[in-house]
Amino acid sequence: MNTIEATVKMAPMFKGKIWRKQIEFIVSKSDDELKGVAFSKDGKQQLYVFEKQVYFNEINGVFSNNEKVIPFNNISSVECNSKGLYSDIVITTSGALIKVENVPVSIAKDVSAMISDLKINA
């Protein structure tokens, strides 16, 4: 599944174009290849899976973001916890716990598997 297109299609009304622009902006800041994305249903928690690392962005307000770049070798585990139509992606690292809540189940499963596979091959 192309999680990038699936995420944009599942965006709330009128937010698809905004989410696509956010994805393009994050990709423009990196020289790494984007493999997949997962956004919470409100778009405030964003997970970008690149070939060599994971980028987490949590939007707390207009001028406040919580950004983390996590190399695959720092990831201890990744879990996909389903709850109805949505899942939480939980990434445990050597220094923190990152949780992206309320991601559509199909996207969450694919992105979790993608992170696990890329971690093994890192």
| CATH at residue 87 | 2.30.29.30
- pLDDT recorded at residue 65: 83
Residue 1 has pLDDT above 90, yes or no: no
Q: Please list the alpha-helical segments (H only) found in 63-104.
A: none
Residue 92 belongs to domain spanning: 3-121
pLDDT in tens, 3-17: 999 999 988 888 889
Q: How far apart are CA 122 and CA 117, in angstroms?
A: 9
SS3 assignment for 8-44: HHCCCCCCHHHHHHHHHHHHHCCCCCEEEEEECCCCC
pLDDT in tens, 25-73: 999 998 999 999 999 999 999 999 999 999 999 998 777 788 999 999 9
Specify the number of domains making up the chain. 1
